[in-house]
Amino acid sequence: MRIGDFEIDAERYYSDAEAGQAIGRTRSTLATDRCKRRGLPYTKLGRKVFYRGRDIIEFVERNRVVFVEHRK
């Protein structure tokens, strides 16, 4: 899936910097989201945090806004 300038591979894991760039959030915002148990699911190995491509794609899809035209 392409998100802006990023091609997201569903099977790959992305660093917090890469995931943040893909969805337009800073690393500190992602860290705050982790602390507050919201946002993207993540995997933590030691001090490193990774985001699965499939989860990034699903997050983007869940947050998609669709406008419906109302006719009179």
- What pLDDT score does 61 carry? 93
**Distance (Å) of CA 63 to CA 8, 15, 22, 39:** 16, 21, 14, 11
Q: Global pTM? A: 0.84
Query: How confident is the model over 40-54, as pLDDT tens digits?
Result: 999 999 999 999 999
Residue, of 12 and 1, whose pLDDT is higher: 12
Query: How confident is the model over 10-22, as pLDDT tens digits?
Result: 999 999 999 999 9
- What pLDDT score does 4 carry? 80
DSSP secondary structure letter of residue 12? S
Euclidean distance between CA atoms 34 and 13, whole angstroms: 17
29 burial level (CB within 10 Å; 0-12, 13-18, 19+): middle
- What pLDDT score does 47 carry? 94
- 22, 4 Cβ separation under 8 angstroms: yes
- What pLDDT score does 59 carry? 94
Nearest residue to 15 (alpha-carbon basis) of 27, 6, 24: 27
